[in-house]
Amino acid sequence: MKNTIFAFNSDSPKYKQIYEQFKLFIERGDIPPGEQLPSIRMLADSLQVSRNTTLMAYDQLVAEGYIHGEGRKGYFVNELEALLVQKAFISPNKEEKESETPVLIDFRAGAVDQTHFPVKVWRKISNQVLTLQENFQYGEPFGETCLREQIATYLLQSRGVKTEANAIIIGSSTQQMLIHLGHLLKDNFPSIIVEDPGYDGAREAFQFHRFSLETLPVYESGADFSLLEQMKSQVIYVTPSHQSPIGVSMTIQQRQTLIRWATKRKGYIIEDDYDSEFRYTQQPFPALASIDSTRVIYLGNFSKSFLPGIRLSYMVLPPSLINHYKDQFLPFESTTSLLHQLTMAKFMEVGEWSRHIKRMRLVYKRKMQHLVSLLKEQFEQRITIIGEQSGLYVLVKVHQKRSEEWLIERASFYGVKVYPTSLYFIKNKTSEPIIKLGFSNLSCDEIQLGVELLKKSWS
């Protein structure tokens, strides 16, 4: 195999970039049929990534027929038909790119509803805040006190979490908070348990600090906590209110089990409560941090519930970590906009935040019901819908002998952009493809058109 250099970017998961690079090498003939690929360990060491990352890349190549494994010998390149190689070589052509079908409907999960966003109120408060003297300073390193006080009040009312402003840290994103937290924990806790499937952004943050990862299988019925006692880690990362991506919620019994486990291990639970506001069948479940604030590190953000571009997240630290965290990060400036912090604090103080959440819960509930109803009507028994009780997306398990890639490409041919879930899985893979459909920034008419086009594309 020719010596090559991988230059990773932040646009997609590392495993996918490795997979795509090897796929290109094989299709171009840079790696000939029959040649042995580097071992999983050797490739991981040379690229400075985890073995899980290289294993996921190889698994994808095996699944698509580019390579095959031979027991303990390793992985070897399969022979491709000349026509396939020729087509693969032509595909990046500029003319072909220009002829691609334009995106008519984008089922993106990371957007918010633009038509109901309180632009006038936010602009009015922002203009008022601009006149404050505080805006002409750098601000507090751990976030403005006024915002931390408002968050503490909100968490007590909405999530049952009793905390003080001093225990709250303001940051720019969940990933950034996890990277800081990882720096704090890595000396005493070399490994972390993550959900499988689970949020890939969290895994990337942990792998940045070279934590060893253990995986907790999650199914449509919930997580398998019977495996916890067999694991070595003392820290676990979970999304208990709306598991990412499956959407299942953790029962009170499971929450108590997890608290007892963390207490016994003298470890910590990292609770990512990323979109707990949007539960449509019952009231939002109490947070894990409301049961035991000494063992739970609580994460929340304003990206999913308000505006992604505002870049405001927060973390509630247990008493045992507050001073240690502040000693470590006191020399560093805040990573978030002072103007946005002050505006959000005032927005919450005058009651606009609560009004916004109540309004959007109704808006998103109607959209969720509309999407689910249309999917059931159009596809009947050919799909299974996962996670319709809460959140801003659903998962669709497609009962066809088709790959995830085929479903995405076919949808794209009809002008519909849908999203994969394979990047969330590590070992606990599914036998049927699962597609992610977000609906938050689509109108009911757009949702209907999108589902109708999906039916045509997947027929």
CA 234 to chain centre: 22
The pLDDT, as a whole number, for residue 100 is 64
Answer CATH for 105-114+355-458 from 3.40.50.300, 3.30.360.10, 3.65.10.10, 3.90.1150.10: 3.90.1150.10
pLDDT at 252: 86
Query: Which pLDDT value is given to residue 8?
Result: 79
pLDDT given for residue 95 in this prediction: 47
Per-residue confidence (pLDDT) for residue 456, from 0 to 100: 95
Confidence label for 348 from pLDDT (cuts 50, 70 and 90): very high
What is the β-pairing status of strands 212-219 and 191-196? Answer: parallel
Q: Give the separation between CA 128 and CA 124, rounded to whole angstroms.
A: 6
Q: Is the pLDDT of residue 98 over 50?
A: no
- Neighbouring-strand partners of residue 13: none
* Band of residue 82 on the pLDDT scale cut at 50, 70, 90: low
Q: For residue range 396-431, what is the model confidence (pLDDT) as tens digits?
A: 999 999 999 999 999 999 999 999 999 999 998 888
Total length of the chain: 459
pLDDT > 90? residue 279:
no
> Could you tell me the pLDDT band of residue 4, with boundaries at 50, 70 and 90?
low
Pairwise CA distance, residues 319 & 311, whole Å: 26
Quick one: what percent of the chain has pLDDT higher than 90?
63
Per mean pLDDT, which range of 280-289, 338-347, 374-383, 408-417 is the poorest? 280-289
371/443 Cα distance (integer angstroms): 10
Phi (first) and psi of residue 118, to 5 degrees: -75, 65
d(CA 355, CA 206): 36
In this prediction, residue 96 has a pLDDT band, given cuts at 50, 70 and 90, of very low
Q: Is the pLDDT of residue 90 over 70?
A: no
Query: Which pTM was predicted?
Result: 0.76
Residue 93's pLDDT is 53
pLDDT for residue 89: 52
- Under the banding of pLDDT at 50, 70 and 90, the label for residue 31 is confident
Q: For the chain, give the mean pLDDT.
A: 89
Higher pLDDT, 64 or 285: 64
pLDDT for 284: 62
- In the chain, % of residues over pLDDT 70: 93
Rounded mean pLDDT of 318-331? 95
Backbone angles phi, psi at 387, to 5 degrees: 85, 40
Q: Which residue did the predictor score with more confidence, 107 or 71? A: 107
Look at residue 215 and tell me whether its pLDDT is greater than 80. yes
Torsions phi, psi for 76 (to 5 deg): -130, 150
Placement of tokens 């908070």 in the chain: 177
pLDDT band at 5 (very low <50, low <70, confident <90, very high): low
119-351: CATH, from 3.30.470.20, 3.40.980.10, 3.40.640.10, 3.30.565.10: 3.40.640.10
Q: Residue 448: what pLDDT?
A: 96
| Confidence at 214, pLDDT banded by 50, 70, 90 | very high
Kindly tell me the burial class for residue 96, based on how many C-beta atoms sit within 10 Å of its own C-beta (0-12, 13-18, 19 or more): exposed
- Residue pair 183/227 in contact by the 8 Å Cβ criterion: no
CATH topology of domain 14-91: Arc Repressor Mutant, subunit A (1.10.10)
Is a pLDDT exceeding 60 seen at residue 2? no
Tell me phi and psi for residue 11, to 5 degrees: -80, -25
Of 235, 200, 216, 210, give the one whose Cα is nearest residue 50: 210
- pLDDT classification of 83: cutoffs 50, 70, 90: very low
Domains of the chain by residue range: 14-91, 105-114+355-458, 119-351
CB neighbour list of residue 171: distance below 8 Å, 6 or more residues apart: 143, 177, 180, 313, 314, 315, 335, 336
Q: Please report the pLDDT score of residue 283 as a whole number.
A: 66
